[in-house]
Amino acid sequence: MKTVAAWGWEHPAWTGGFYPDDLPDDWRLAYYANEFRAVIVPWERASRCTEEEVMAWKEDTHADFRFFLEAPPWASLGPFMALGERWGGTFWKGEGRTREGEALAVWPLVGDNLRAQLEGEGHVLLHGKDISLLRQARLLAELMGF
């Protein structure tokens, strides 16, 4: 399986380009989830989350949406248990496991060879912050049947 996800959804540079100028900050995840099926919660964000916040994220996204967590092996993931099936997996330094226990490879998107990145073996999580590149990768993944 191949998953395309942004490295977080709280990017000021996306305002006016991806997010409408007047979109409230607390609506950004729901807006993002209308176009993408997954997001990475970076450790600097994940480390300060409460269970209430995580439950709100779950409510703001559709049933097929997945959250992938960047977290060191020693981290407490208690608040994220509330995600249930929406928890896609956990990784640290490019490698991890899906919720189902499959190996998970995490690669940054490279614009000049998206197809090769999508053709790799196993469960691969492709990520980035460039919304244009993320959209290209998402579309290509859909066309390739992922």
Q: What is the pLDDT of residues 67-98, one digit of tens each?
A: 999 999 888 888 998 899 999 999 998 888 88
Indicate whether 127 pLDDT > 90: no
Closest residue by Cα to residue 43 from 109, 10, 90, 3 = 90
pLDDT-based confidence at 112, cuts 50/70/90? Answer: confident
Whether residue 29 is predicted with pLDDT greater than 90 in this model: the reply is: yes
Confidence at residue 94, expressed as pLDDT on a 0 to 100 scale: 81
DSSP one-letter string for 6-24: EE-S--GGGBTTTB-TT--
Residue 125: pLDDT band with limits 50, 70, 90: confident
**Mean pLDDT within 97-116:** 82
Say yes or no to pLDDT of 2 above 90: no
Q: How far apart are CA 90 and CA 15, in angstroms?
A: 28
pLDDT tens column, 43-60 = 999 999 999 999 999 999
In the block, tokens 């709100």 appear at 56
Two tokens, residue 132: 């244009």
